[in-house]
Amino acid sequence: MLSRPEILLQVAEIKAMTPRVSAYRLVSPHGERLPAWSAGAHLNFRLPSGRARCYSLCGDSASSAEYWVAVQREEHGEGGSLEVAETFARGVVVRADPPRNGFPLAADAKHQVLIAGGIGITPIVAMIHHLRRSKATYAVHVCARSLKEVAFRDLIQAEVAAGRAALHLDGNDPARRPDLAAMIGAPTDGTHVYACGPAGLLKAFARATESWPRERVHVEGFAPEARQSEGDRPFDVTIASTGKTIHVPAGTTLLAALKAAGHDIATSCRQGICGSCMVPYSDGEPDHRDQALSDDERREFLTVCCSRARSPGLTLDL
């Protein structure tokens, strides 16, 4: 069976980016090179409490000596960001899965339009570092309530000064929300568009890109749950170790059905991005809906937060 390797990272530096966002520089505790990654990738951290949380890498992917992640404190979230703030002290060693990328830049793009909302700026920052070295042209749009809430302000303001970025500050006034359709424009050959941010921004982005070819529209969000779609069919899963069968109705995620039956599966993104919830299966045909697993991994695992079954039944090796 494929293993799930883990890497150890030492917190080398902490920087306050905004009143709520801190950036962490992470290095190998043994001074080794870190696994390679590409812009748009994230790390899935295994926190001391047992929670898993994924955060986009926001440094320069050309460096194999360090990773950067930035985390926004969510006082009313599920506790992951607060745990990071409390436990990621300088010198502390933390555990993570190796980087995965479900939001990569298109290698063949001639022009890239990058839209960031709030803390969704993190993968966009890594993309900017990469694109500064590339031949493709790019335009960045950063949406935030106020300048003081813009993380990586120096980098973004340098991009604004260079004519490659625009800041859209709405003061939290819905009437001043930016016009995404105007930012994006009509589809042109070789242009790819990307958005990362909260659900409201992604909804507006989906409307603004309705006429775009799907393969040129790229999204990463942080919605609380993976969406199920209307055409979903019910199916049954059998738990290999007990022989017990669990019914998964249409409109219910496999994760929710497993949880209701007493199976506690570690999750992080719950959107098929991080791979935290991968579970081995041995029978049946999964309907893989994640962006996390490789083709090899999909032969043995499925992500239960978002994936379903094409076959009437599926056996999980739990």
User: Does the CA dihedral 31-32-38-40 come out positive or negative?
Assistant: negative
Residue number with CB closer to ligand FES (119 or 305): 305
- Here the tokens at position 252 are 């219910």
- Between CA 99 and CA 106, with CA 104 as vertex, the angle to 5 degrees is 150
Residue number with CB closer to ligand FES (122 or 276): 276
Residue number with CB closer to ligand FES (55 or 138): 55
Amino acid at site 194:
Y
Neighbouring CB atoms inside 10 A of 175's CB total 6
Residue number with CB closer to ligand FES (13 or 78): 78
Residues contacting residue 34 through CB under 8 Å, at least 6 positions apart = 7, 9, 27, 28, 64, 65, 66, 67
Residue number with CB closer to ligand FES (167 or 265): 265
Minimum distance of ligand FES from residue 309's CB (angstroms): 16
Q: Which residues share a beta bridge with 15?
A: 23
Minimum distance of ligand FES from residue 180's CB (angstroms): 26
Q: Which residues bind ligand FES (CB under 6 A)?
A: 267-270, 272-277, 290, 292, 303, 305
Minimum distance of ligand FES from residue 305's CB (angstroms): 3
Minimum distance of ligand FES from residue 269's CB (angstroms): 4
Minimum distance of ligand FES from residue 283's CB (angstroms): 21
Please give the C-alpha separations between residue 145 and each of 58, 170, 273, 300, in angstroms, as whole numbers. 21, 5, 27, 44
